[in-house]
């Protein structure tokens, strides 16, 4: 299997072109073609020598993800794509378009995967029910963003309203299939590519990494030169309940997780977000809201409340909206900054792992 050019950092790409007798600026040209020019083949890189383009095409591959199924919902605002990888495995990504009414600004957000399956095994998660196959490479991660950027660039748009340039991806969230921080090296390199001015040019506040709570990796991420927003999947305010919902809590309980979140804030200046998925009759009562507020007392953070998405396991159902709003009111009354996040694309199975479960029956639980 030929190496993927997107798996290479800029420094690694420089080493490659040097081996072909080319100067370092050639690597920068290739990098810009991939991430700014959105080239899908070496033939499109017209300012490279023809002989080099031929060599690159014979010895490497520019892109490796192949879309095999696409579903569109929310009047075209949510698109989910199932990609086939070179080894026949598959992962999902979702593009969500926001017109500005939901958070006060227009955003084009891509939710990307970092692993085939997931090793954490949360019982309510469709990906967790599939088991774990392998990590994605840096290129396989970044190519998900490139795919949707090319899709946006190819769409018709109103030049009067949008200006002379096509719409672009504005935000990237590592919230798809897998536990991002369990694939740390690939995540670190993909962050560098996303942040690079010669790459995709995303600022730290435009990229969010979600984790189930891998404490050593959270502490390590806090020390990296390339930062991102941090979202921690909490879902419970006690170790007893979180042990059931997020099994990694048995290894890294709340007494270890919350200090790591505090350290992340202190080192980066970016307050962590705690994701709290509400499950009917499990963690959605007003008492649970008060316990959550008590747990987070004094911590500079924000809570995202998310009504559960249905999966194959019917034990984990969303609460009524009345119950959701009661939970939110209590959390607000207790002084906890929070947002109620509206689920997108339920009719196209946009929650992570759902489409892959449907298209790969052998991955289904039970």
Whole-angstrom Cα distance, residue 238 to residue 254? 8
229 forms beta bridges with: 208
Annotated catalytic residue within 92, 133, 140, 330: 92
- Residue 153 exposed, middle or buried by CB count within 10 Å (0-12, 13-18, 19+): middle
Residues 6+ apart with CB under 8 A from 44: 33, 37
Active-site annotation holds for 92: yes
Residue with tokens 């929070």: 338
Furthest-apart CA pair in the chain: how many Å?
A: 69
Residues 6+ apart with CB under 8 A from 206: 170, 171, 172
Task: Collapse the DSSP code of 84 into the 3-class scheme (helix H, G, I; strand E, B; otherwise coil) and give the result.
Answer: strand
Which spans in 94-253 are helix H? 138-154, 159-162, 184-195, 215-222, 239-245
Strands (DSSP E) along 308-360, which ranges?
Answer: 338-340
Tell me the C-alpha to C-alpha distance, in Å, between residue 54 and each of 17, 51, 59: 13, 5, 9
Whole-angstrom Cα distance, residue 214 to residue 144? 24
Whole-angstrom Cα distance, residue 226 to residue 209? 12
Closest CA to 270 of 181, 180, 203, 205: 205
Per the document, the length of the chain is 366
Asked whether the beta carbons of 97 and 77 are under 8 A apart, the reply is: yes
Annotated catalytic residue within 44, 352, 359, 363: 352
> What residues are annotated to the active site?
92, 352
């Amino acid at each position: 299997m030929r190496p993927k050019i997107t798996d290479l950092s800029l420094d690694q790409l420089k080493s490659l072109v040097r081996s072909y007798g080319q100067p370092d600026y050639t690597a920068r040209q290739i990098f810009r073609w991939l991430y700014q020019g959105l080239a899908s083949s070496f033939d499109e890189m017209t300012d490279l020598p023809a002989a080099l383009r031929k060599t690159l095409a014979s010895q490497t591959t520019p892109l490796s993800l192949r879309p095999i199924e696409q579903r569109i919902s929310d009047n075209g605002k949510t698109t989910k794509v199932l990609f086939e990888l070179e080894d026949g495995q598959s992962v999902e990504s979702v593009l969500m378009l926001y017109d500005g009414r939901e958070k006060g600004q227009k955003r084009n957000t891509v939710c990307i995967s970092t692993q085939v399956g997931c090793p954490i095994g949360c019982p309510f998660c469709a990906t967790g029910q599939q088991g774990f196959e392998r990590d994605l490479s840096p290129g396989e991660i970044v190519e998900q963003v490139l795919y949707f950027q090319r899709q946006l660039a190819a769409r018709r748009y109103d030049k009067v309203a949008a200006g002379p340039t096509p719409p672009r991806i504005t935000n990237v969230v590592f919230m798809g299939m897998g536990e991002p921080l369990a694939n740390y090296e690939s995540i670190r390199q993909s962050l560098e590519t996303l942040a690079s001015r010669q790459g995709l040019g995303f600022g730290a506040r435009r990229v969010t990494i979600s984790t189930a709570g891998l404490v050593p990796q959270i502490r390590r991420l806090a020390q990296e030169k390339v930062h991102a927003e941090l979202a921690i999947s909490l879902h419970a305010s006690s170790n007893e309940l979180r042990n059931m919902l997020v099994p990694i809590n048995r290894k890294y309980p709340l007494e270890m997780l919350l200090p790591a979140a505090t350290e992340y804030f202190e080192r980066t200046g970016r307050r962590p977000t705690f994701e709290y998925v509400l499950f009917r009759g499990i963690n959605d009562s007003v008492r649970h809201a008060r316990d959550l507020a008590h747990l987070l007392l004094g911590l500079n953070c924000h809570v995202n409340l998310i009504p559960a998405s249905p999966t194959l396991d019917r034990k984990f159902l969303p609460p009524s909206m009345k119950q959701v709003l009661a939970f939110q009111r209590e959390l607000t009354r207790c002084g906890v900054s929070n947002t109620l996040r509206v689920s997108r694309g339920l009719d196209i199975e946009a929650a992570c792992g759902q489409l892959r479960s449907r298209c790969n029956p052998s991955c289904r639980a039970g």
